[in-house]
Amino acid sequence: MNHSEDLLKRLPNDIGGQAAGRIEQTDHALSPWEKRCHALADVLDYHKIINTEEKRRGVEALGAEMMNSLTYYERWIAAFSVILFQKQILVPDELARKMAEVEARFAEGLRRGD
Amino acid sequence: MATHDHHHEHEHAHPKAPDEAPPGYYEIMEIAVRELLVEKKLIEPDEIRRQIEVLDSRTPALGAKVVARAWVDPAFRARLLDNGRAACEELGISIYDDTQLVVLENTDKVHNLIVCTLCSCYPRAVLGLPPDWYKAKAYRARAVKEPRAVLQEFGTHIPDDVEVRVSDSTAMVRYLVLPQRPAGAEDLTEEQLAALVTRDAMIGVVRVQNPGTDRP
């Protein structure tokens, strides 16, 4: 099987059976935002806005390069954003404006020392 | 999170202590997505906090309780193997998502191992969130191809005459391994048995050890 056929037959998440190195028996306690992101995934599922399989496919649709560059929960929130755009629940500009607002709010909070 | 059960002197709720660094790009994205969904009334402001409480309440101690009950109560064990979800609910453990729970029993002839090759599906309602190695490539890639070698890396040797069965989880179907009760644990109470059962034994990468006999 040549390289392009291999890419077509194995999407980025489909790694069962591939060769891989030693299992590093690592773990870490989730940071507060990672835990909120996990809770957001559950709440989106409860409300039938994004289910588990849509989330998994959304992460895969980020592509191999992004999947390898982002951490686990970074991939989730990036995938949620894209899926919410696709479902026309959010528009990109609206998210960009809200992110700028959140960033400014934190900068202001830090400046005032609260 | 801007909930009303916190008291803030300023108009904006602020989750960071003053000496902490500002949030990174993806944390800002998480906050922004959440706030937009609340503004659009698609989720309630308090739901994320309440779900975090649910997540925090789920640890491998719940799975251990289920395993210990199955060891001491054959009728419960039969119900657990028949319908994992209903049996857990009998013990007051709600399966908070829309998933099936299939319980896989280890015997003298069969050793079970669970994995999610595509992502990180895991019996979260009874074990809490998975460890990082369960979500990482090496375990997901190799568990289905060379499970005995994987088990060996966890210090678990499975004799050749014992079949190793690997079950690959999905969004809808989650697995939990019912480990074998260790030898020499006949006199222990249900609570003492539960204390022997570890997360990794319920994933299937190790056996349950009895410290009284296995580790002199």
- In chain A, residues with a C-beta closer than 8 Å to the C-beta of B6 are none
Query: Which of A37, A48, A51, A102 to mutate against chain B (most B CBs within 10 Å)?
Result: A102
- Determine, yes or no, domain membership for B3: no
Q: Is the Cβ of B139 closer than 8 Å to some Cβ of chain A? A: yes
Asked if B119 is an active-site residue, the reply is yes
B102-137, pLDDT tens digit by residue?
999 999 999 999 999 999 999 999 999 999 999 999
Q: Does residue B84 sit in the same domain as residue B181?
A: yes
B20-68, pLDDT tens digit by residue?
678 999 999 999 999 999 999 999 999 999 999 999 999 999 999 999 9
- Determine, yes or no, domain membership for B212: no
In sequence order, the β-bridge partners of residue B205 are none
Q: Does residue B79 sit in the same domain as residue B91?
A: yes
Q: B13 pLDDT exceeds 70?
A: no
Mutual angle of helices A32-46 and A72-86, in 10-degree steps? 40
Q: How far is A83 from chain B (nearest CA, A)?
A: 12
Q: Does residue B47 sit in the same domain as residue B123?
A: no
Q: Does residue B71 sit in the same domain as residue B150?
A: yes
- Determine, yes or no, domain membership for B8: no
Q: Does residue B111 sit in the same domain as residue B74?
A: yes
pLDDT over 70 for what percent of chain A? 98
Contact between A84 and A90 under an 8 Å Cβ cutoff? The reply is: yes
CB contact under 8 A, A39 and B48: yes
Q: How far is B113 from chain A (nearest CA, A)?
A: 14
Residue B132 CA to residue B136 CA, distance in Å, equals: 6
Domain boundary residue, one of B9, B41, B56: B56
Residue B22 CA to residue B199 CA, distance in Å, equals: 35
- Determine, yes or no, domain membership for B208: no
Q: B10 pLDDT exceeds 60?
A: no
SS3 B105: strand
Q: B215 pLDDT exceeds 80?
A: no
Asked if B94 is an active-site residue, the reply is no
Backbone angles phi, psi at B174, to 5 degrees: -115, 150
CB contact under 8 A, B118 and A106: no
Contact between B109 and B163 under an 8 Å Cβ cutoff? The reply is: yes
Asked if B120 is an active-site residue, the reply is yes
Report the mean per-residue pLDDT for chain B: 91
Q: Does residue B52 sit in the same domain as residue B70?
A: no
Q: Does residue B48 sit in the same domain as residue B83?
A: no
Q: Does residue B117 sit in the same domain as residue B34?
A: no
ipTM of the prediction: 0.93
> b/e per residue, A53-82, with b = 16+ CB within 10 A?
ebbbbbbbebeeeebeebebbbbbbbbbbb
Q: Does residue B124 sit in the same domain as residue B138?
A: yes
Among A71, A77, A105, beta carbon nearest to B12:
A105
The DSSP code for B92 is: T
Contacts of residues B189-193 at CB distance under 8 Å and 24 or more positions apart, as own/partner, are B190/B68, B190/B69, B190/B71, B190/B72, B191/B68, B193/B67, B193/B68, B193/B71, B193/B72
pLDDT band for B7, please (50, 70, 90 cuts): very low
Q: B19 pLDDT exceeds 70?
A: no
Which token pair is B143?
């568990």
pLDDT band for B1, please (50, 70, 90 cuts): very low
- In chain B, residues with a C-beta closer than 8 Å to the C-beta of A20 are 137-138, 141-142
CB contact under 8 A, A102 and B35: yes
Among B37, B118, B131, beta carbon nearest to A27:
B131
CB contact under 8 A, A101 and B32: yes
Residue A54 has a pLDDT of: 96
- In chain B, residues with a C-beta closer than 8 Å to the C-beta of A38 are 55, 129
Domain boundary residue, one of B34, B56, B78: B56
Q: Is the Cβ of B26 closer than 8 Å to some Cβ of chain A? A: yes
Q: How far is A4 from chain B (nearest CA, A)?
A: 20
Q: Does residue B69 sit in the same domain as residue B101?
A: yes
Q: What is the CATH classification number for the domain harbouring B136? A: 3.90.330.10
The residue segments making up the domain with residue B103 are 59-203
- Determine, yes or no, domain membership for B18: no
Query: In terms of pTM, does the model score above 0.95?
Result: no
DSSP per-residue letters across A25-49 = ----PPPHHHHHHHHHHHHHHHTTS
Q: Is the Cβ of B29 closer than 8 Å to some Cβ of chain A? A: yes
Q: For the residues B191-199, what does the mean pLDDT come to?
A: 97
- Determine, yes or no, domain membership for B9: no
- In chain A, residues with a C-beta closer than 8 Å to the C-beta of B144 are 16-17
Catalytic residue among B88, B94, B120, B167: B120
- Determine, yes or no, domain membership for B215: no
Residue B178 CA to residue B69 CA, distance in Å, equals: 11
- Determine, yes or no, domain membership for B107: yes
Domain boundary residue, one of B56, B72, B99: B56
Which token pair is B150?
């994987």
Residue B149 has a pLDDT of: 97
Q: B12 pLDDT exceeds 70?
A: no
Q: Does residue B42 sit in the same domain as residue B64?
A: no
The DSSP code for A90 is: S
Number of domains observed in the structure of chain B: 2
Contact between A41 and A55 under an 8 Å Cβ cutoff? The reply is: yes
Rg over CA atoms, chain A: 18
Residue B107 CA to residue B166 CA, distance in Å, equals: 14
Q: Does residue B161 sit in the same domain as residue B85?
A: yes
